[in-house]
Structure 1
Amino acid sequence: MAREFKDLRSPHQKIAAEIRRLITRGDLPPGSKLRSTAELMDRYGGVANTTIQKALQMLKAEGLLEGLPGKGVYVRQHAQHSFEPVTFMKPAAPGEPYSWMSEATKRQQVGRSQLLDVEVVHPPTEVAAALELQEGEQAVLRKQILFLDEEPTELTRSYYPLGLTEGTVMLDKKRIRGGTPALLNSLGFPPREFVDELSSEIPTEEEVVALELPKDMPVLVAFRVVYSDGRRPIEVTLMTKAAHRYRMRYRMPVS
């Protein structure tokens, strides 16, 4: 017998969740007109008008809906995109932009990055262990925001062993042509493998501000370790992604 468990969210949050799922899974495609307020009130058990309005306001804040005066509420051309992480791992060819930008162009989007900071730090315990650093060893931290069509979609905090990158442009507070994979490749450390651990988490204040997140929106966090030849760890990145704008797609052979 199933255990009893109650959804303690408010009625408008539950309704917003139902409509959100219809939108993100394609049952309400972009351009669709939502039912009238009266119809929605009836559809969701005779709730009050204010409950429906609160639910719709949540979805408008997430960029999923828009109200057109005198016409109704419509589903926006929202930006929840599917990505295959492996497409961003191959180093860019000399003179070519970072693969994030190139892949965005293929999807007829504009991708850009904003470098927030570069510093030498004692990395968090989890990062130091993944990079196989000795106690007290430092790493280079590069922090940036990635944008698609001027919407912030990802906050990245990438760590590199200081001994691997000292004396290179990795420590300069400026963007690297072709991205860090291209630089590491030029130093003799091509990426050969990466391991991702994914989790859904409650965002920190820094993440809410950087990604301009709506209230109560979770984030998708990927903890990625990149290995070079001999399975040497060369990079650890914490990628915090706006959950309402992202899907991750993985294709793996099954033997």
Structure 2
Amino acid sequence: MPEPHEDKRPLAERIAAEIRKLIMSGEWEPGRKVPTNEELRTRYETSNVTIQRALQILKDEKFLEGQTGVGVFVRGERAQTIQPAHFITPSEPGQPYRWLAEAVKREQRGRYKMREVAEVVPPVEVARALRLEEGGTAMLRSRIGFLDDQPAELVHSYYPMELARGTRLADHRLIPGGSPALLQGMGYPTRSQDDAVAARPATTEEYVALEIPRDVPVIEVFRIVYSDNEKPIEVTLLTKPAHRFKMGYRIEMP
């Protein structure tokens, strides 16, 4: 029989994990005062030093905030659930990209900042999804999305060169209405998309761009967008800080 798997993390990290779950699940709501160090010390049967270390981890991760002379409180916002299905339909003519429009509905200020637009040899998984020949290139559009001036997502989108060359996809400016609206106008309407969602540690690029605290993981979405006849027209690698966002999916039963 294999030996039981044990949690060998330092006790402060384990306590932080327990409290983090309470916050992300909503059981500890924003603004709630955290139990005193003495109460937590008794609950977890440990020292005051260990409790202080656990709370500091969560303060660094922006889950908790201390108020001098008052106590420690749960941060003022809960993890936000993002519904990918809300963004698949192209924007109406003259309307902003749906990601920005959805932010307005939530009373948030959304904006994008372009980072890079270039013809590149994409990662292997992207090349396969786009059905490129070995060494084939794609148009990369890299950008950061902000909500209320906080970095919310890092996006690397790739497009087949036969679609992108000579179009706004190759332009360093933002695309009015977003790429779905542009592609639809070019005769490539979005028909479906496949999403693969994972959680992992952040790369240095993601850590810096998304201003990730400590060792908070990222949510990674690998998305393939198809047009007519299952033609792949866009592959996107999207990462979001896991302490601020959840991915939500609604599935209609036949």
* TM-score interval for Structure 1 and Structure 2 normalised by the shorter chain: over 0.9
Equivalent in the alignment of 1:76: 75
Letter in 2 for 1:197: A
Answering whether residue 6 of structure 2 is matched by residue 6 of structure 1, we say yes
Cα distance in 2 for residues equivalent to 1:253 and 1:74:
39
Post-superposition offset of 1:182: 1.1
Letter in 1 for 2:44: Y
Post-superposition offset of 1:194: 0.1
Equivalent in the alignment of 2:240: 241
Q: Secondary structure at the match of 1:100?
A: helix
Question: 1:209-255 deviations in whole A, cap 9, x for unaligned?
Answer: 11111111111111100000111000000111111111111111234
Letter in 2 for 1:8: K
What aligned pairs does 1:114-133 form with structure 2 within 5 A after superposition? 114-133=113-132
Letter in 1 for 2:10: S
Post-superposition offset of 1:57: 1.4
Equivalent in the alignment of 1:24: 24
Post-superposition offset of 1:75: 0.9
Question: 1:96-135 deviations in whole A, cap 9, x for unaligned?
Answer: 1111110011011111111111110011111111011122
TM-score in terms of structure 1 length: 0.96
Equivalent in the alignment of 1:180: 179
Question: 1:15-42 deviations in whole A, cap 9, x for unaligned?
Answer: 1111111111111101111111111111
Post-superposition offset of 1:152: 1.0
Cα distance in 1 for residues equivalent to 2:200 and 2:152:
15
Question: 1:31-68 deviations in whole A, cap 9, x for unaligned?
Answer: 111111111111111x2222111211111122211111
Q: Secondary structure at the match of 2:187?
A: coil
Equivalent in the alignment of 1:152: 151
Cα distance in 1 for residues equivalent to 2:107 and 2:2:
48
Give the conservation status (yes or no) of the 8 Å contact 2:30–2:78. no
> 4+ residue stretches of structure 1 with deviation over 4 A?
none
Cα distance in 2 for residues equivalent to 1:238 and 1:139:
14
Equivalent in the alignment of 1:38: 38
What aligned pairs does 1:165-176 form with structure 2 within 5 A after superposition? 165-176=164-175
Post-superposition offset of 1:185: 1.0
Q: Which moved more, 1:157-166 or 1:58-67?
A: 58-67
Q: Which moved more, 1:62-71 or 1:1-10?
A: 1-10
Cα distance in 1 for residues equivalent to 2:171 and 2:35:
54
Q: How many percent of aligned residue pairs carry the same amino acid? A: 49
Answering whether residue 105 of structure 2 is matched by residue 89 of structure 1, we say no
Equivalent in the alignment of 2:63: 64
Root-mean-square deviation (CA, aligned residues, Å) is 1.3
Equivalent in the alignment of 2:225: 226
Letter in 2 for 1:15: I
Q: Secondary structure at the match of 1:244?
A: coil
Letter in 2 for 1:22: L
Post-superposition offset of 1:136: 2.8
Cα distance in 2 for residues equivalent to 1:36 and 1:178:
50
Give the conservation status (yes or no) of the 8 Å contact 1:63–1:78. no
Q: Secondary structure at the match of 1:136?
A: coil
Give the conservation status (yes or no) of the 8 Å contact 1:115–1:145. yes
Cα distance in 1 for residues equivalent to 2:82 and 2:246:
6
Answering whether residue 193 of structure 2 is matched by residue 189 of structure 1, we say no
TM-score in terms of structure 2 length: 0.96
Cα distance in 2 for residues equivalent to 1:245 and 1:148:
11
Post-superposition offset of 1:2: 8.3
Cα distance in 1 for residues equivalent to 2:104 and 2:53:
36
Letter in 2 for 1:38: E
Letter in 1 for 2:183: L
| Unaligned stretches of 5+ residues in structure 1 | none
